[in-house]
Structure 1
Amino acid sequence: MSKQEQDVERGASEASLDLLFKSARSYNGYLDHPIADGLLEQVWELASLGPTSANMSPARIVWVRSEEAREKLAGLASSTNGKKIRQAPVTAIIGMDYDFADKLLYLFPHVDARSWFTGTPEIVATNAMRNSTLQGAYLIMAARALGLDTGPMSGFDNDAVDQAFFAGTNIRSNFIITLGYGDPSSIFPRLPRLSFDEATWSA
């Protein structure tokens, strides 16, 4: 078998590509079907395997599941997003822990990397934002891989969400993701994407 053939063999199946990318959509509404206990843990276990800088893993997630919590979060979002939150069985608040360096001795034992972030709030904030965003994206793909649909969004009051869900911590909200079993009637036709030539070039 040639190297090229081996590379093809290693690639995902067409069905997997459809599940994760080609047929996957961001949903605006969900069917009245709960997410089974334990599935969110599986989603996290998959998402946590994605790479972050120095394995810092700054994302901290609140699974908004109860009626009370959903209503609280919906009230802190735009009216359009509030409706989506109320309908979704779960909404994940993707937070970013500005104290992520405290766990680096465990997560990145090769060196004492905590000093890289001591007294550098701008570097801490940049890394927390970048890497928690990556982890949120991994979570979307993990959820899709496990048969869930998602609806990532901003459009909420970050400061109010931080006070309501992260009070007393050094965690700040990044973005939110609704999760569930999507209602096909809630999606729009797929919007255009930039072509390879429009969005990339070689150097």
Structure 2
Amino acid sequence: MTLALDTAAQNLLFREARTANAFTDEPVTDEQVRAIYDLVKNAPTAFNQQPLRVVLVRSPEARERLVGHMMENNKPKTSTAPLTAILATDHEFHEELPRLLPFAPDLKDTVFGERPVREQQGSFNASLQVGYFILGVRAAGLAAGPMTGYDAAGINKDFFPDGNHAVLTVVNIGRPAENAWFPERLPRLDYDEVVTTV
């Protein structure tokens, strides 16, 4: 055994976890989402910048607006999922750095003073946080259905009109329904196809 996680945890987070396309109508509570966030907030980011922002789409009006920006195949599952979250990058994340990185407060204006730097760094590090968020959903015994099939410009304009945030993915969250998965898991590349030693 070379992994610290027991087999049940490995299966829950990785081997048996799959992208869900259909969910039961069991609600996802604010307490569950808070527990997920409190678990994954400790994931690493460069300079502890933490640029991920999460918008929980709960109201019927907001759900209708979001569904209008989804590609056709994603509309039915987004309209019926118990909870949908918009995961976005905050391009003004540097404003929090003096509190998050108190031993280097000058980074706010030196390294991250230019918007293009913040956009590049923020998108990368928030994407790391997205991966951990999905693992957190799985750790809560729920299923995640992350999607990139949407009109990003439309979502940004509709949900982030200040221009300081950019959507990275939209994730449906809930208990998987009976036919939540595609019939077979798609293939993955093997170790020797991915890993080289130099």
Structures share fold, TM-score greater than 0.5: yes
Q: 39, 57, 60: which is aligned to 1:67?
A: 60
Q: Give every structure 1 segment of 4 or more consecutive aligned residues whose post-TM-superposition deviation is greater than 6 Å.
A: none
Aligned to 2:166: 172
Aligned to 1:198: 193
Counterpart check, 1:11 vs 2:4: yes
Query: How many angstroms apart in 1 are the aligned matches of 2:48 and 2:178?
Result: 37
Contact 2:157 2:163 in 1 (8 A): no
Give 1:145 deviation, angstroms: 0.3
State the SS of the aligned residue for 2:193: helix
Aligned to 2:49: 56
Q: 85, 88, 108: which is aligned to 1:95?
A: 88
State the SS of the aligned residue for 2:111: helix
Counterpart check, 1:158 vs 2:146: no
Counterpart check, 1:105 vs 2:98: yes
Query: How many angstroms apart in 2 are the aligned matches of 1:110 and 1:49?
Result: 18
State the SS of the aligned residue for 2:179: helix
Q: 89, 112, 115: which is aligned to 1:117?
A: 112
Query: How many angstroms apart in 2 are the aligned matches of 1:14 and 1:95?
Result: 32
Structure 1: any 5+ residue segments left out of the alignment? none
Compute the TM-score of the two structures, normalised by the length of structure 2: 0.94
Query: How many angstroms apart in 1 are the aligned matches of 2:40 and 2:123?
Result: 16
Compute the TM-score of the two structures, normalised by the length of structure 1: 0.92
Letter in 1 for 2:143: D
Give 1:147 deviation, angstroms: 0.9
Aligned residues: 195
Higher helix share: 1
State the SS of the aligned residue for 1:101: helix
Structure 2: any 5+ residue segments left out of the alignment? none
Query: How many angstroms apart in 2 are the aligned matches of 1:37 and 1:131?
Result: 25
Q: CA RMSD in A?
A: 1.4
Identity of aligned residues (%): 33
Deviations 1:123-174 (A, max 9, x none): 2111111011111111100110011100111011111111211122511111
